């Protein structure tokens, strides 16, 4: 028998098999076999038995260190590996198997009886669907080393799985697998610059530690619904926190010189509360314009093609992911007049799919093109954004209730957007800042301002930014000039005067095809900001790399170098 303790806990029917030199007696769920006895007894549930590990190959040594130190206080009746369904195999949202696995180190025994007890309307048993699923197979050698006599069943959760689907699987597991080791096989932030991935991971860890099964669904991982399931199981298990054992960033194997990596977090849900970081995370990019040449290029192939150099993983995973939407979405007919240089913009209804696909959850409407399709176009823009669960903030020509949006995140936040091309009432803005500051809210101002194509902020921008900060604003992030402008720290608060273009057809110069993605965290003690330069290649956004990235960052950060730690702006507040 397995030498892991006086009691051996296994699951299934009352049969005896011999595999890999080990005698394995399969018992009913939650039964153990007393040493020296042939009579099974009911087992107590394991503790710390719901864990998260990565399947990415570069983290294997850290997985093994975790297994060697994991104390379950019992011998698990079975192991359940829950993985994303990377290849969308099978016909149901969740697929399970209890088959045996042949691997390089021997045979990993399954448990078909136990696995079939998990079948429901949303959960299908299908051995063949798992043939190439590395979310499971990459863990099998580990499990055969550390839990050799324990049967393994596996589940794959598809991207089409809903919360009710997850609940069905969770209820089945709670009924038949109270003493199982439940493993969430999850890689975290995928193929992102390490600075951005760090913001993603801190946000995800916050949700894990606070057992937030709603917030975790927006996490930047490859299996947010797997983590959702684990949190629900942890709550049922009376766990109160999540302990991180290790975390890191694995460089791309395809491009080791790339600055991008995929992150991992290894840990377990525990019986005591964890000290959760109180923070609000954000990601901002500049102007998005989807008419003229952008419309012409993508109208037939689909707007989602514009993300082919970017992917859908950049904006996911932060509380606020925001851009300036430089024009209306309307049902008005669009003329494919991209050569005319028309300054009247109009985006087709299908453009909303591209915004949603990218994970953008907030847009500013406080700019000089939002009314280009008239009041009806503005009404339609607001409706289609709301219908797709994307917040909008701002009005193109006045200050009103929509100019202000409050978020009850961990660090309560107010965002104010304003179009300064319309000479708004600055006193009104200052009053809204003071109101938020006095109520304990952090404040981000997103103004549309400045001179086009000028790389240095003008005196009006500087004076306004200083007034905003003196009134209590925490971060100023600007748009409109269509080029990157300088940054400043004033009274211990950051000002990014212009993000430049993010997606725009101003291909006549290099500066108008460059921009910034700004990501960061506001916590109780610090403001942390990372600035990631971007470019457009054939109207498709991508991160700058190599020498141009370094040169751009050095030029921007030089004026605030006393606040820089490893390219991150860190301000104690």
What is the largest distance, in Å, between two alpha-carbon atoms of the chain? 88
Map 169-228 to HEC letters: HHHHHHHHCCCCEEEEECCCCCCEEHHHHHHHHHHHHHHHHCCCCCHHHHCCCCCHHHHH
Domain segments of the chain as ranges: 45-270, 279-572
Q: What is the mean pLDDT of residues 485-494?
A: 98
What topology does CATH give the domain 279-572?
Purple Acid Phosphatase; chain A, domain 2 (3.60.21)
- Distance between CA atoms of 185 and 86, rounded to whole angstroms? 12
Q: pLDDT band at residue 72, thresholds of 50, 70 and 90?
A: confident
Task: Express each pLDDT in 101-139 by its tens digit.
Answer: 999 989 999 999 999 999 999 999 999 999 999 999 999
Q: pLDDT band at residue 295, thresholds of 50, 70 and 90?
A: very high
Angle at 483 between CA 426 and CA 491, to 5 degrees: 45
Spatial contact of 460 and 431, defined as CB atoms under 8 Å apart: no
Among the listed ranges 6-10, 231-235, 317-321, which one has the minimum average pLDDT value?
6-10
Task: Express each pLDDT in 15-69 by its tens digit.
Answer: 333 333 333 333 333 444 333 334 333 445 677 799 999 999 999 999 999 999 9
Q: Hey, which CATH number is domain 45-270, 3.40.830.10, 3.40.630.10, 3.10.350.10, 3.40.50.2000?
A: 3.40.830.10
Q: pLDDT band at residue 9, thresholds of 50, 70 and 90?
A: very low
Task: Express each pLDDT in 333-384 by its tens digit.
Answer: 888 988 888 999 999 999 999 999 999 999 999 999 999 999 999 999 999 9
Q: What is the mean pLDDT of residues 271-275?
A: 95
Q: pLDDT band at residue 517, thresholds of 50, 70 and 90?
A: very high
Instruction: Give pLDDT, residue 2.
Output: 37
More confident residue, 36 or 502: 502
Q: Going by C-beta distance under 8 Å and a sequence separation of 6 or more, which residues neighbour residue 246?
A: 62, 65, 66, 264, 265, 266, 267
Instruction: Give pLDDT, residue 74.
Output: 83
Task: Express each pLDDT in 426-453 by its tens digit.
Answer: 999 999 999 999 999 999 999 999 999 9
Q: What is the mean pLDDT of residues 465-480?
A: 98
Task: Express each pLDDT in 381-403 by its tens digit.
Answer: 999 999 999 999 999 999 999 99
């Amino acid at each position: 028998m397995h030498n892991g303790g006086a009691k051996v806990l296994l699951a299934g029917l009352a049969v005896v098999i011999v595999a890999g030199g080990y005698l394995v007696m399969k018992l009913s769920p939650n039964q153990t076999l007393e040493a020296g006895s042939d009579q099974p007894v009911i087992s107590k549930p394991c503790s710390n038995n719901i864990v998260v590990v990565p399947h990415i190959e570069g983290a294997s040594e850290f997985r093994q260190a975790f297994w060697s130190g994991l104390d379950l206080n019992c011998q698990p009746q079975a192991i359940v590996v829950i993985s994303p369904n990377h290849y969308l195999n099978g016909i149901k949202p969740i697929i399970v198997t209890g088959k045996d696995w042949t691997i390089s180190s021997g045979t990993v025994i399954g448990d078909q009886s136990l696995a079939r007890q998990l079948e429901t309307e949303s959960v299908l048993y299908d051995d063949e669907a798992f043939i190439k699923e590395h979310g499971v197979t990459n863990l099998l050698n580990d499990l055969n080393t550390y839990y050799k006599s324990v049967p393994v069943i596996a589940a794959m959760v598809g991207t089409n799985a809903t919360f009710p689907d997850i609940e069905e699987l969770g209820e089945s597991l709670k009924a038949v697998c109270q003493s199982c080791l439940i493993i969430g096989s999850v890689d975290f932030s995928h193929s992102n610059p390490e600075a951005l991935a760090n913001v993603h991971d801190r946000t995800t860890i916050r949700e894990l530690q606070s057992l937030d099964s709603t917030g975790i669904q927006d996490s930047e991982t490859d299996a947010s619904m797997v983590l959702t399931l684990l949190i629900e199981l942890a709550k049922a298990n009376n766990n109160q926190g999540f302990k991180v054992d290790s975390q890191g960033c694995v460089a791309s194997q395809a491009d080791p010189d790339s600055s991008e990596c995929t992150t991992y977090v290894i840990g377990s849900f525990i019986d005591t509360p964890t000290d959760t970081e109180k923070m609000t995370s954000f990601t901002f990019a500049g102007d998005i314009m989807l008419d003229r040449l952008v419309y012409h290029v993508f109208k037939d192939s689909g707007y989602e093609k514009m993300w082919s150099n970017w992917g859908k993983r950049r904006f996911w995973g932060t509380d606020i992911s925001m851009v300036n939407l430089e024009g209306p979405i309307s049902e008005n007919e669009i003329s494919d007049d991209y050569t005319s240089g028309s300054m009247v913009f109009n985006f087709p209804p299908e453009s909303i799919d591209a915004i949603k696909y990218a994970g953008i959850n907030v847009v500013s409407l406080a700019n000089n093109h939002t009314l280009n399709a008239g009041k009806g176009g503005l009404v339609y823009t607001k409706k289609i954004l709301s219908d797709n669960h994307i917040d909008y903030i701002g009005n193109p020509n006045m200050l009103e209730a929509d100019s202000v949006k409050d978020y009850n995140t961990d660090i309560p936040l107010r965002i104010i957007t304003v179009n300064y091309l319309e000479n708004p009432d600055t006193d009104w803005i200052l009053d809204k800042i003071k109101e938020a500051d006095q109520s304990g809210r952090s404040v981000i101002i997103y103004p549309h301002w400045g001179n086009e194509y000028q790389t240095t902020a003008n005196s009006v921008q500087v004076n306004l930014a200083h007034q905003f900060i003196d009134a209590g604003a925490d971060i100023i992030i600007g748009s409109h000039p269509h080029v990157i402008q300088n940054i400043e720290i004033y009274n211990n608060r950051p000002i990014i005067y212009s993000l430049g273009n993010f997606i725009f057809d101003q291909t006549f110069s290099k500066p108008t095809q460059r921009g910034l993605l700004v990501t960061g965290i506001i916590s109780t003690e610090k403001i942390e900001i990372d600035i990631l330069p971007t470019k457009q290649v054939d109207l498709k956004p991508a991160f700058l790399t190599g020498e141009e990235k370094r040169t751009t960052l050095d030029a921007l950060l030089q004026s605030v170098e006393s606040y820089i730690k490893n390219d991150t702006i860190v301000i104690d507040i």
